Amino acid sequence: MAMTEEQAALMPTNPKMTARDVKVFYGPKQAINGVSIDVDMDHVTAFIGPSGCGKSTFLRTLNRMNDTVASARVEGTITLDGEDIYASSMDVVQLRARVGMVFQKPNPFPKSIYENVAYGPRIHGLAGSKADLDVIVEKSLRRAGLWDEVKDRLSDSGTALSGGQQQRLCIGRAIAVEPEVILMDEPCSALDPIATARIEELIHELRGRYAIVIVTHNMQQAARVSQRTAFFHLGELVEYGVTSEIFTNPRQERTKDYITGRYG
């Protein structure tokens, strides 16, 4: 456990999700070793670290996307609002509706823009009527900052949009099912700087409404969008704290080396 008492005091938290001593194995290989962390409701949490350090793997344990990997095995406890998400009573389909995810590569469905957003509410029965659904689609696309660009062509294919627009569509799609937590796995790595700035702005706007966790390679991005930063290295959580602290005054040598560009 990397967080000291002192740091904990610095972080008056309103934890939405907590992880305690989480270990992830792919077959015999251990990918995550004993990570404990609280994901805060009111702040954006960034996971940083060099490639292969396990930050994406850990992110995917938070909505059980690792279940799809046959060889993956998760130990430890992860809770959402105090409820163990790996308990047998937890419905994984509902969990993923409550903990939404945005992926590294924009992956809209090869369907219309409208259908992309409407799909989630439809399968969860969130809209009573076509009019309800229209409202949800508009609201979600507005929150994703895409509405003005696509309102006249909702029936166009989602895959015809530009990369940045596709990623915002994916965020809109995640928002449409009213999740409580949004996990973003390097959402800007395939985007140009302008589209990246647009997404970062969006993360600012969404903060507070949803607990947001973002995995990023880009330390400037972590510094810009997050209030809490966790540094992962070799499957371990090295340091977790207030973003400004981590970047200006890291406590761990490894964090300092990474921040200053010694490796990564």
Task: Round to whole Å and give the CA distance between 121 and 144.
Answer: 16
Which of residues 167 and 229 has its CB atom nearest to other proteins in the complex? 167
**97 is a site residue for other proteins (CB under 8 A):** yes
Measured in Å, how far apart are the chain's first and last C-alpha atoms? 22
**108 is a site residue for other proteins (CB under 8 A):** yes
Question: What is the smallest separation between the CB atom of 119 and other proteins, expressed in angstroms?
Answer: 7
DSSP state letter for 112: B
What Rg do the C-alpha atoms of the chain give, in angstroms?
A: 18
Question: What is the smallest separation between the CB atom of 120 and other proteins, expressed in angstroms?
Answer: 4
Region near other proteins per CB under 8 A, out of 51-59, 72-80, 99-107, 246-254: 99-107
**69 is a site residue for other proteins (CB under 8 A):** no
Question: What is the smallest separation between the CB atom of 65 and other proteins, expressed in angstroms?
Answer: 7
Q: Which of 39, 53, 79, 100 binds other proteins (CB under 8 A)?
A: 100
Region near other proteins per CB under 8 A, out of 34-42, 62-70, 73-81, 140-148: 62-70
Q: How many residues does the chain have?
A: 264
Q: Helix, strand, or coil here: 17?
A: strand
Question: What is the smallest separation between the CB atom of 256 and other proteins, expressed in angstroms?
Answer: 33
C-alpha dist (Å) from residue 183 to 80, 101, 203: 13, 5, 11
> How far out from the chain centre does Cα 174 lie?
11
Contacts of 168 (CB under 8 A, 6+ apart): 144, 145, 146, 198, 199, 202
Task: Round to whole Å and give the CA distance between 43 and 15.
Answer: 10
C-alpha dist (Å) from residue 113 to 71, 152, 155: 35, 11, 6
**110 is a site residue for other proteins (CB under 8 A):** yes
Q: Which of 12, 51, 68, 129 binds other proteins (CB under 8 A)?
A: 68
**19 is a site residue for other proteins (CB under 8 A):** no
Token digits of residue 103: 């992926």
Task: Round to whole Å and give the CA distance between 131 and 112.
Answer: 18
Region near other proteins per CB under 8 A, out of 3-11, 104-112, 190-198, 204-212: 104-112
Using CB under 8 A, which residues numbered 122 to 141 contact other proteins?
123-124
Using CB under 8 A, which residues numbered 166 to 185 contact other proteins?
170, 173-174, 176-177
Q: Helix, strand, or coil here: 260?
A: coil
Contacts of 53 (CB under 8 A, 6+ apart): 232, 233, 234, 235
Which of residues 71 and 248 has its CB atom nearest to other proteins in the complex? 71
**93 is a site residue for other proteins (CB under 8 A):** yes
Catalog residues that contact other proteins under the rule CB under 8 A: 63, 65, 68, 70, 93-97, 100-103, 105, 107-110, 119-120, 123-124, 157, 159, 170, 173-174, 176-177
